[in-house]
A and B are shown apart, each in its own frame.
Chain A
Amino acid sequence: MSRFLNRRLAFIAVGLALVATFAWVVVRSGPLAPVRVTVTQVARADLAPQLFGIGVVEARRSYLVGPTTAGRVRSVSADVGETVRAGQLLAEMDPVDLDQRLSAAAAAAARAKSAVNTAAAQLADSVARREVAAANARRYDDLGKRGFVSSAVTEGKTQEMTSAAAQVTATEATLAAARQDMARFNAEREGAQQSRANLRLLAPADGVVTARDAEPGSTVVAGQPVLRLVAKDSLWVKLRLDQHRSAGLKVGLPAEIVLRSRPGEVFAGIVARIELLSDSVTEERIAQLSFETPPTDVSVGEMSEATLRLPGIKQALVLPNAALRQHGGKTGVWMQSAEGLTFVAVKTGVSGADGRVQIFDGLKEGDAVIVHSERDLGEHSRVKVASALAGS
């Protein structure tokens, strides 16, 4: 009989175990199972908000060096990557007939100078004639008064004197004209020299050649660059910030810049300029960050990430942003109390770098609020508080 009893006990034990496991399975899964959640308390803490954007390294000062008139490139003497000084010859355009025109202008100027000399000599000659004529006139006038010569002779001499004086005036005018001609030809020669010099493309400032767009022999139009330069000490980051995450952007904010080539290294910078125009298509604001100490061997066009530190907020009411939910068209949080869950609509302020967000109203310090949950919650959800849910 005891063997039978043992069997019965064993059977009952197996049955109980089955029933218990079944009950556990039913309660732990399916619609009866509680939603596992994590809970936190609304607390006061310091918030360190930040702005984040991506940008590219650009040069604040970049130069396009090209001819002012269309022409053919004769020589290019600088290459990409070369450091050049201000005034250094970078390239030269083909002058075509400009040299010939320059010598023509020089010859014309020399000829004008000769013309001036001729006119000056003529002037000296006419002045001498006028003096002789004046002396004669005075003499004959004197003789005429005394009656030694007829008045016809006297008048003839006076007329000679007047003619000589007029001749002087005419010669003076010729000299002035010759001088003006000379000035004009000199100016023309200088102009031709300037045009000739303009074909020599010089570096406008110290910099590094970034592009060599035309080779000797190629034809370029006016304004088309032959070489491009950037001033290497003027590198900065053109930063693009999402408009809805750009509040608080100010000139002078400290920035941490990370270049794509050196992801582990942080360069200190500062917001140097904010553009008034924002990009309305991409909905981004644009600001320029300058490096505190410009990094060496950085490339223009390199992608970078920048984090701007905004002034912190002391002792704000904060919550993790994972607690914020949408429910019934409102943003709020699920508050846990003895009665169960209630949805409280909240107004949020700035967000900290650690993912905590400032709460303006709706909650008070010490309120228990659900942060993470395994499912979307409702008023009638049964919840079970856990310390962590998954993957953390």
Chain B
Amino acid sequence: MISLAGRDILHSWGKFVLTGFGLGLLIGATLTMAGVYRGMVDDARALLNNSGADIWVVQKDTQGPYAESSSIKDDAYRGVLGLPGVAQAASVTYLTMQVRQGNTDSRTMVVGFESGQPGEPPYLVAGRRLIRGHFEAIADVKTGFRLGERILIRRHGYEVVGLTRRMVSSGGDPMVFIPLKDAQEAQFLKDDDAIIADRARTAANPALNRPGVPGLLDAVTAAQTINHSVNAVLVRVGADSNAATVAQDIRRWKHLQAYTREQMEEILIEKLVATSAKQIGMFLAILTIVSAAIVAFIIYTMTLGKIREIAVLKLIGTRNRTIAGMILQQALGLGLIGFVIGKISATLWAPAFPKYVLLETADAVRALVIIMVVCALASTLAIRTALKVDPATAIGG
């Protein structure tokens, strides 16, 4: 038995393939939109994974360090380290800022970390880890920095010695990792003019600039330019300890806020990226509906365009089942081609996006099912029309 659908497709395969291609690009756009949504959530998860922490210790009554600003003293980690169940604890700072390289600058999140402690990037794609205590940096490849380049953070230059990947803030800004002490200084270091103005302000204060107490002004000025604050302490618990219990201990005895991994994920995904993720999700839903409608129309109009041929088929006595099967097969084939092209195009253009686009296999399978169902439904409409065709139209109008 010859395949009517195959024959028909071969008859006008150029048109068929082009229609499939157009459909595919539309499906590709929808898949990409799903990928953007997934990427946004995944950025938040990547931030948590890459810090390598089990507990985040932040300023009391804040939801820092990512969702809110948090500031604690840099010796807080010593107290935390003394609690039972804590294997590692280290201070970190996070600051979103422009990092200059040559004449350009890029928006990054600068992370201050201690070598070998939580907060360090877990893997590198090029170069080495830091071996100096100052002025070396590891950058995410998305920053565009290359090994050996010098980048400027505030007034100091840093040499890029290592590159890493998928280290992003919850907003998707690529990270630059520098030693903690440099980061503390960078976070609070003002420009020269501001420092001089501050000194003048202090000198004008009669309580701080007393003629009978030489040296007081110098001491006050020196105290103003030192920063002993960090944004959070990252804690890794021992193998046989429960993070929730340790976090409870920290809250109870250290008077600091402590979040476990689950709580942090909730803060990031439920609160921080919730609105923008919902925005994208809403758009994704509309795009899916629009795509489904367009697929349905294409299938329907394609069938209508073949009314005369169907009439001929009916005239020569083709059974209704054969005609319906032909239309259904064509619709499903078109859907399949569209899906394949959509998946390929989405995969090809996803890396070109500035922010991470995560194409999940489950999304692809879901899309395939939806496309097939939509094609089948659309073809039933077309089949109904086709079966109602009067065979006389083949020779008449």
0 or 1 for each of A218-260: is its CB under 8 Å from B? (1 = yes): 0001011100000000000000011011000000000000000
B96-132: contact bitstring with A at CB < 8 Å (1 yes, 0 no)? 0000000000000000000110000011111111011
What per-residue 1/0 map shows which CB atoms of A9-30 lie under 8 Å from chain B?
0110010001101100110111
Question: Which residues of B line the A interface, CB within 8 A?
Answer: 9-10, 13, 17, 49, 52, 75, 87, 115-116, 122-129, 131-135, 141, 145-147, 161-163, 165-166, 181, 212, 214, 228, 236, 238-239, 337, 340-341, 343-344, 347-348, 350, 359-361
Chain B residues with Cβ below 8 Å from A19 are 340
Number of residues of chain A lying within 8 A (CB) of chain B: 58
- Residues from chain B with Cβ under 8 Å of A92 in the complex: none
Given A224-B214, A329-B87, A329-B239, check contact A52 B128 (CB 8 Å): no
Partner of A320, one of B9, B128, B163: B128
Q: Is the Cβ of A375 less than 8 Å from the Cβ of B123?
A: yes
B126/A372 in contact, CB under 8 A: yes
B343 and A324: CB pair below 8 A? no
Check B128–A21 contact: CB distance below 8 A.
no
Cα(A30)–Cα(B346), bound, Å: 12
Of listed B127, B131, B161, residue having the most chain A CB within 10 A = B131
Starting from the known contacts A32-B361, A53-B134, 14 additional A-B residue pairs (CB-CB under 8 Å) come to: A8-B10, A18-B344, A22-B340, A50-B131, A225-B214, A282-B181, A305-B135, A321-B131, A322-B128, A326-B122, A353-B131, A390-B141, A390-B165, A391-B147
Cα(A52)–Cα(B161), bound, Å:
15
User: How far is it, in angstroms, between the C-alpha of A389 and the C-alpha of B147 when the chains are bound?
Assistant: 12
Q: Say yes or no: A373 contacts B13, CB within 8 Å.
A: no
Contact B359 A29 (CB under 8 A): yes
Nearest-Cβ distance from residue A142 to partner chain B, whole angstroms: 84
User: Bound state CA distance, A242 and B134, in angstroms?
Assistant: 9
Are B162 and A322 neighbours in the complex by a CB distance under 8 Å?
yes
Chain B residues near A391: list those with CB within 8 A. 125-127, 141, 145-147, 163
Contact assessment for A390 and B163 in the assembled complex, using a CB-CB cutoff below 8 Å: yes
State whether A305 touches B134 (Cβ < 8 A). Answer: yes
B52 to chain A, nearest CB (A): 6
Chain A 59-84 interface mask (CB, 8 Å, partner B; 1/0): 00000000000000000000000000
Residues of A within 8 A of B340 (CB): 18-19, 21-22
Beta-carbon contact of A30 and B359 below 8 Å: yes
- Chain A residues within 8 Å of B127, by CB: 322, 355, 391-392
A280: nearest chain-B partner, CB-CB: B75
Q: Measured between C-beta atoms, what is the minimum distance from B192 to chain A in Å?
A: 13
Quick one: CB contact mask for A309-329 with B, threshold 8 Å, 1 for yes? 000000000001110111011
Given the contacts A4-B10, A376-B49, A25 and B343 also touching, CB distance less than 8 Å: yes
Contact of A242 among B87, B133, B135, B341 (CB under 8 A): B133
**Could you give 28 example pairs across A and B, Cβ below 8 Å?**
A4-B10, A8-B10, A11-B17, A18-B340, A18-B341, A25-B343, A28-B347, A32-B361, A52-B133, A52-B134, A53-B133, A221-B212, A221-B214, A242-B181, A282-B181, A321-B128, A321-B129, A322-B124, A322-B128, A325-B123, A326-B122, A331-B116, A355-B128, A374-B123, A390-B163, A391-B127, A391-B141, A392-B163
- CB pair A355–B125 under 8 Å, yes or no, is no
* Chain A interface (Cβ < 8 Å from any Cβ of B): 4, 7-8, 10-11, 14, 18-19, 21-22, 25-26, 28-32, 50, 52-54, 221, 223-225, 241-242, 244-245, 281-282, 305, 320-322, 324-326, 328-329, 331, 351-355, 371-377, 388-392
Chain B: minimal CB distance from A217 (Å): 14
User: What's the Cα separation between A324 and B124 when bound, in Å?
Assistant: 10
A376 to chain B, nearest CB (A): 5
Cα distance, A374 to B165, chains bound together (Å): 7
Top 5 closest pairs, chain A to chain B, by CB: A355-B128, A242-B133, A52-B132, A389-B125, A392-B126
Q: Please give the distance in Å from B235's CB to the nearest CB on chain A.
A: 12
**Closest chain B CB from A68 CB (angstroms):** 14
Contacts of A18 in B (CB 8 A): 337, 340-341, 344
Per DSSP, are chain A's interface residues mostly helix, strand or loop, or mixed? mixed
A325 touches B122 (CB 8 A): yes
> Which chain A positions have C-beta within 8 A of B116?
331
Q: How far is the CB of A373 from chain B (nearest CB, A)?
A: 5
A7 touches B13 (CB 8 A): yes
Rounded to whole Å, the gap between the CB of A93 and the closest CB of chain B is: 16
- Among A19, A375, A390: residue with most chain B CB under 10 A: A390
B227 to chain A, nearest CB (A): 11
- Given B52, B128, B141, B360, which contacts A326 in the complex, CB threshold below 8 Å? B52
B3 to chain A, nearest CB (A): 11
Task: Report B7 CB to chain A, min CB distance, Å.
Answer: 9
Q: Could you say which residues of chain A place their CB within 8 Å of the CB of B146?
A: 391-392
With a cutoff of 8 Å between Cβ atoms, the chain B residues found around residue A281 in the complex are 75, 228
| Residues of chain B contacted by A328 (CB below 8 angstroms) | 239
Task: Output the least CB separation between B297 and chain A (Å).
Answer: 23
Shortest beta-carbon distance, A169 to chain B, in Å? 58
CB within 8 Å for A30 and B361 given contacts A325-B122, A326-B52, A389-B126: yes
Among A324, A329, A352, A372, the one with the most B-chain Cβ atoms within 10 Å of its Cβ is: A372
CB distance A22 to B343 under 8 Å?
Answer: yes
A14 to B16, CA, bound (A): 12
Q: Are A390 and B126 in contact, CB atoms less than 8 angstroms apart?
A: yes
What is the bound-complex CA distance between A242 and B131, given in angstroms? 11
Please indicate the chain A residues that have their CB under 8 angstroms from the CB of B236 in the complex. Answer: 329
CB neighbours of A7 from chain B (8 A) = 10, 13
How far does the Cβ of B51 sit from chain A's closest Cβ, in whole Å? 11
* A373–B125 CB distance below 8 A: yes
Q: Chain B residue with minimal CB distance to A307?
A: B132
Q: A22-B340, A22-B344 are in contact. Are A10 and B13 (CB under 8 A)?
A: yes
In angstroms, Cα B368 to Cα A26, docked, is 14
Once bound together, how far apart are the Cα atoms of A18 and B146, in whole Å?
A: 36
How far is it, in angstroms, between the C-alpha of A50 and the C-alpha of B125 when the chains are bound?
25
A356 CB to closest chain B CB (Å) equals: 8
In-complex Cβ contact of B360 among A30, A244, A373, A377 (8 A): A30
Closest to A14 in B: B17
Complex Cα–Cα for A223 and B214 (A): 9
The CA-CA distance from A21 to B344 in the complex, in Å, is 7
Q: From known contacts A22-B340, A22-B343, A390-B141, infer whether A11 and B10 are also in contact, taking CB-CB under 8 Å.
A: yes
Closest to A351 in B: B131
B304, chain A: closest CB distance, angstroms: 23
Asked whether A377 lies within 8 Å of B131 as measured between CB atoms, the reply is: no
